[in-house]
Amino acid sequence: MNMSVASDSPVHSSSSDDLAGFLETELDSDSASSSESFPIDEAAEEDDAEVSNHRLKRRKLEHIETVDEDEIEDVASVKFSQEVSEASSSKLPCEHPGTFGNMCIVCGQTVEEEETGVSFTYIHKGIKFNQDEVTRMRDIDMKMLQSQRKLCLVLDLDHTLLNSTVLRDLKPEEEYLKSLTHSLQDVSGGDLFMLEFMYMMTKLRPFVHSFLKEASKMFVMYIYTMGDRPYARQMAKLLDPKGEYFGERIISRDDGTVRHQKSLDVVLGQEKAVLILDDTENAWPSHKDNLIVIERYHFFASSCKQFDHRFQSLSQLKSDESEPDGALATVLKVLRQTHSLFFEDGGEDLSSRDVRSLLKQVRKEILKGCKVVFSRVFPTKFQAEDHPLWRVAEGLGATCATEVDESVTHVVAMDVGTEKVRWAIREKKFVVHRGWIDAANYLWKKQPEENFGLEQLKKQGTDDKSDDVGLEK
Amino acid sequence: MQLHPRFFGQNLRENLVSKLIKDVEGTISGRHGFVLVVTGIESIGKGLIRDGTSFVTFPVKYRCVVFRPFKGEVLEAVVTTVMQHGFFAEAGPLQLFVSNHEMSDGMEYQAGEMPNYTSSDASVRIQKESEVLLKITTVSVVATEIVRTISITLFTMQLK
């Protein structure tokens, strides 16, 4: 590398004689110099700096035409001196928007560690931005999203888009799967993968490829998983081999700020424009309004066991979720609806729209027009209005009441012998068990009441946990 | 270099050397920088048994190749991540960051699937995997794990 650049510098203006000499000393220094800060030529007048800038710019453009080692070094020194003269004319104090290690990313000064900032390790290890900067970045992101007519979607991996199992946990009746795995060389079109090097097998949820393709037209997508970084990246390779859906937006538990919790603090999207798809509500304690809870995907036996379910997994039943009718297809419809409501041409300014209230709106359509009374569903001492099921029903658009009257349409009960049930049968009102409400919640659609009659309850016995909808076949 | 008695015997020296290599290669010394590879052993002194344990400490003098960044040094690096604030690059084990403020006026950030910095006349583009020539301005050693710098850019563009 030619180190005598300084002497070849084609800079001509008066102030840059100092710069040339300065360049020479800087480039020749071979040990950490004693001076902390960059010796900036304070004497350079702003006007002179401007003039030299213009000349340097023109020269720089000429040089760029021919890409040649020597010439580039000249360009380099030209640009370099331009930088210094610029630095001397700007006197604004640095706001330290972020740090890399403990250095400010703008001015290079050491910034104390105590200053609060959010670590964005999924972008690069060691980078931290302060809250103001994060807000600024989110605002920029919002503008970009709006210009593309897109919102933000955060996706969970396990039991949402896929199901993984450790090879050790495979049951004998699942061994047949080993012969059905897809090649890792070209993952497109494959659903079942053997990852020997990670001692696991992964099954992608039916419809996931179409889901991602369609959703990517409406959303900028993130992966947010409680798995570790290598797992997250490997799953991303299976779901998104070209990196077109997620890019670098892969957040693993190693990148989260609070253990065992997920939060939108490391997502560079404004909260009013982010939707989350996850099978676990409690993973998102501060963002329940952004969340669409999806039915858990239990393909492997180990997955059912993990959740203490006694029903057989799909692999054991040699079956799978329906592609066109499954959970992902349903969620896609909801996403489309919410997205189109957001970008609907109304009178409103887009900046006042909030995806959370729109999601609530979509949900309230499901049981709109239903008036529900509960019978023996809540413990007697319990304040009915506070019960989660009451809240869910209201969230779905139903009106809830404690007493029966003409306007009641449905009685939700767990037992045939009650007053309210007898009244309902007399008045030809619907009698359903609570599964009818749960199903509406997960399937985003009012379900036929016949499928949730109390006789059904007796048939099923106590197989399913009442708060988890098993995959019904 | 501390050694457990199970390593004593015929292969003592070998064990000592392999433990040294394992312990020292890839680490960072504040004074010397990254220890990249051990090239030779100069001497191994007499072992001293540590009181209270059966471990024996051997003073080992060795030669190695180190890599230490200096302020003002010019390096070649490969771009790893591009952001609106600047880009990250690496030169071997050294992690670097170049702020957008340190780049020439003409360079504009372009967001997208392959975020990059493009010059105003579109002749120069910096994106992931681009090779750049950088001059180091600030060096920071954090917890003796990773040494980082900010640099002013001098460009030589070889785009992949």
- Provide, as residue numbers in chain A, all residues whose Cβ is less than 8 Å from the Cβ of B105: 53, 57, 82, 86
What are the pLDDT digits (tens) for A361-385?
A: 999 999 999 999 988 888 877 787 8
Which helix (DSSP H) or strand (DSSP E) does residue A17 occupy?
helix A15-28
Asked whether the whole model's pTM tops 0.90, one would answer: no
Residues 6 or more apart in contact with residue B79 via CB below 8 angstroms: B87, B88, B89, B126, B127, B128, B129, B130, B131, B132
- The one-letter code for the residue type at B40 is G
Domain B2-67 class, CATH top level: alpha beta
Q: Is the pLDDT of residue A36 over 70?
A: no
Q: Is the pLDDT of residue A185 over 50?
A: yes
Residue A293: beta bridge partners?
A: A278
Instruction: Check residue A38 and give its pLDDT.
Output: 36
Locate B16 and state its tokens.
């000592």
Nearest to B70 among A32, A38, A83 (CB): A32
Distance, in Å, from the CA atom of A12 to the CA atom of A14, rounded to the nearest integer, reads 7
- Give the gap in angstroms from C-alpha A251 to the nearest C-alpha of chain B: 16
In this structure, how many other beta carbons lie within 10 angstroms of the beta carbon of residue A33?
14
| Secondary structure letter of residue A387 according to DSSP | S
| Sheet strand arrangement including A274-278 | A250-251, A219-224, A151-155, A274-278, A291-293
Query: What is the percentage of chain A residues whose pLDDT exceeds 70?
Result: 75
Domain boundaries, chain B: 2-67, 74-156
Block residue for tokens 């080692």: A69
Distance, in Å, from the CA atom of A342 to the CA atom of A272, rounded to the nearest integer, reads 10
What are the pLDDT digits (tens) for A18-31?
A: 444 444 444 444 33
- DSSP strand E in A416-464: where? 430-432
Distance, in Å, from the CA atom of A200 to the CA atom of A116, rounded to the nearest integer, reads 39
Nearest to B102 among A26, A33, A83 (CB): A83
What are the pLDDT digits (tens) for A122-168?
A: 888 888 888 888 999 999 888 888 888 999 999 999 999 999 999 99
- pLDDT, mean of residues A186-205: 90
Most A CBs within 10 Å, among B90, B134, B152, to test the A interface: B152
Beta-carbon separation of B137 and A38 below 8 A: yes
| Secondary structure letter of residue A176 according to DSSP | G
Locate A398 and state its tokens.
């139903």
What are the pLDDT digits (tens) for B118-147?
A: 888 878 888 888 888 888 877 776 654 444
Instruction: Check residue A115 and give its pLDDT.
Output: 62
Q: A65, exposed or middle or buried, with CB in 10 Å at 0-12, 13-18, 19+?
A: exposed
Q: How far is CA B84 from each of CA A105, A140, A267, B117, rounded to the nearest angstrom?
A: 12, 10, 15, 9
| pLDDT level of residue A183 (50, 70, 90 thresholds) | confident
Which helix (DSSP H) or strand (DSSP E) does residue A212 occupy?
helix A208-218
Maximum distance among all Cα pairs of chain B, rounded to whole angstroms: 71
Q: Is the pLDDT of residue A10 over 60?
A: no
| Secondary structure letter of residue A93 according to DSSP | P
Pick A116 or A87 by higher pLDDT.
A116
B61 touching A (Cβ < 8 Å): no
Does ipTM exceed 0.90? no
Distance, in Å, from the CA atom of A127 to the CA atom of A134, rounded to the nearest integer, reads 12
- The one-letter code for the residue type at A94 is C
Instruction: Check residue B71 and give its pLDDT.
Output: 81
Q: Are A101 and A121 in contact (CB under 8 A)?
A: no
CATH of domain B74-156: 2.40.50.140
| pLDDT level of residue A349 (50, 70, 90 thresholds) | confident
Residues 6 or more apart in contact with residue B32 via CB below 8 angstroms: B66, B68
What are the pLDDT digits (tens) for A122-133?
A: 888 888 888 888
- pLDDT, mean of residues A247-255: 92
- Give the gap in angstroms from C-alpha A68 to the nearest C-alpha of chain B: 9
Q: Are A44 and A15 in contact (CB under 8 A)?
A: yes
Instruction: Check residue A348 and give its pLDDT.
Output: 62
Nearest to B150 among A1, A108, A125 (CB): A108
Distance, in Å, from the CA atom of B99 to the CA atom of B80, rounded to the nearest integer, reads 14
Nearest to A105 among B97, B105, B157 (CB): B97
Distance, in Å, from the CA atom of A355 to the CA atom of A151, rounded to the nearest integer, reads 9
Q: How far is CA A378 from each of CA A387, A411, A429, A468, B5, rounded to the nearest angstrom?
A: 7, 13, 20, 17, 69
Pick A216 or A46 by higher pLDDT.
A216
The average confidence (pLDDT) of chain A is: 78
Locate A90 and state its tokens.
């700007």
Instruction: Check residue B108 and give its pLDDT.
Output: 85
- pLDDT, mean of residues A350-368: 90
Residues 6 or more apart in contact with residue A90 via CB below 8 angstroms: none
- Provide, as residue numbers in chain A, all residues whose Cβ is less than 8 Å from the Cβ of B113: 243-244, 247
Q: Are A264 and A271 in contact (CB under 8 A)?
A: yes
